[in-house]
């Protein structure tokens, strides 16, 4: 049995493009896994301690 692969030599996509795409997808998956959108603090207010005056 002979296994052959067909490649398009005219394609502008490089092996580096493929690796970059895979890496970006994996990074996105990790970010989604560890940072749920509902758990991220989006407030820009700093926490005020008891008795602290704000100018």
Q: What would the pLDDT profile of 14-50 be if each residue is shown by its tens digit?
A: 889 999 999 999 999 999 888 766 666 666 666 655 5
The residues, ordered by sequence, that sit 6+ positions from 30 with a Cβ below 8 Å of its Cβ are none
User: Rounded to whole angstroms, how far apart are CA atoms 23 and 1?
Assistant: 34
User: Rounded to whole angstroms, how far apart are CA atoms 25 and 6?
Assistant: 25
* pLDDT over threshold 60, residue 12: yes
At 22 the pLDDT is: 96
Note the pTM of the prediction, 2 decimals.
Answer: 0.48
């Amino acid at each position: 049995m002979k296994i052959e692969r067909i490649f398009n030599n005219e394609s502008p996509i490089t092996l580096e493009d493929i690796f970059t795409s895979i890496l970006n997808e994996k990074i996105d998956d990790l970010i989604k896994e560890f940072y749920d959108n509902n758990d991220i603090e989006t407030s820009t207010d700093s926490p005020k301690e008891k008795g602290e005056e704000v100018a």
